């Protein structure tokens, strides 16, 4: 079992790389959700401005 974790002397590199990959893969959905909400808010803001311009010019 110890041999498996030591990976022939490269265990630190292998397991720290695996840890980094798992960390980044778990953070990516959080980042994507945040970014998606930001884009949706920007589109809604743009649509409100566009609607206000068309309503304002009709008067």
Residue 10 DSSP SS3 = coil
Residue 40 DSSP SS3 = helix
- Domain spans, the chain: 21-45
Supply the pLDDT for residue 57.
62
Supply the pLDDT for residue 56.
73
**Tens of pLDDT, residue by residue, the chain (59 residues):** 888 889 989 999 999 999 999 999 999 999 999 999 999 999 999 999 999 998 876 55
How many whole angstroms separate alpha carbon 47 and alpha carbon 53? 10
| pTM exceeds cut of 0.75 | no
How many whole angstroms separate alpha carbon 48 and alpha carbon 6? 59
Q: What residue spans of 1-59 are helical by DSSP H?
A: 2-6, 11-58
How many whole angstroms separate alpha carbon 49 and alpha carbon 9? 61
């Amino acid at each position: 079992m110890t041999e498996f974790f030591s990976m022939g002397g490269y265990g630190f590199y292998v397991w720290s790389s695996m840890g980094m990959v798992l960390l980044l893969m778990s953070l990516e959905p959080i980042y994507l959700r945040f970014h998606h909400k930001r884009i949706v808010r920007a589109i809604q803001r743009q649509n409100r401005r566009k609607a206000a311009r068309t309503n304002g010019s009709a008067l």
